[in-house]
Amino acid sequence: MGSVKWIMLNFHVWCMCLDYGLTVLTVPIVIFPALGGYPFGILTEWGVSAEFQTYLIVTLIPVVSAAVITIFENRYFLVFGHNSKWRRFRVLLSIFNYLYAATWCLPSFMIIPEQNMARKVALEMLGPNVSDYIRHFPIFMMSLEITYLTLPCLLIVLTFATEVILFVAIIKKGMTELAKTARFSKNTLKMQKNFLKAVYIQVSMYMTSIQLPLAYFFVSIFFKIYNQSANNFCFVVFSLNGLSSTILMLWVHTPYRDFCYKLLRIEKWRKKIGQANSQDNVVSVAPTAAPK
Q: Is the pLDDT score of 151 beyond 50? A: yes
Cα of 228 vs its chain's centroid, Å: 24
This prediction's pTM: 0.82
Across-strand partners of 143?
Answer: 35
C-alpha to C-alpha distances, 229 to 139, 232, 241, 248, nearest whole angstrom:
17, 5, 19, 28
Per residue in 90-124, pLDDT (tens digit) is 999 999 999 999 999 998 898 899 999 999 999 88
Q: CB burial class (10 A; 0-12, 13-18, 19+) of residue 46?
A: exposed
Per residue in 219-251, pLDDT (tens digit) is 998 898 999 999 999 988 888 877 777 777 777
Domain 5-280 has CATH 1.20.1070.10: yes
Interacting residues of 237 by C-beta distance below 8 A, sequence separation 6+: 209, 212, 213
CA distance linking residue 19 with residue 60, whole number of Å: 10
Mean pLDDT for 132-143 is: 87
Q: Is the pLDDT score of 279 beyond 70? A: no
Per residue in 30-65, pLDDT (tens digit) is 999 999 999 999 999 999 999 999 999 999 999 999
Per residue in 169-199, pLDDT (tens digit) is 988 888 877 777 756 667 777 777 777 777 7
What residue ranges do the domains of the chain occupy?
5-280
35-44 CB contacts, 8 Å cutoff, 24+ apart: 35/122, 35/141, 35/142, 35/143, 35/144, 35/146, 35/149, 35/221, 36/118, 36/119, 36/122, 36/139, 36/140, 36/141, 36/142, 37/139, 37/140, 38/137, 38/138, 38/139, 38/140, 39/140
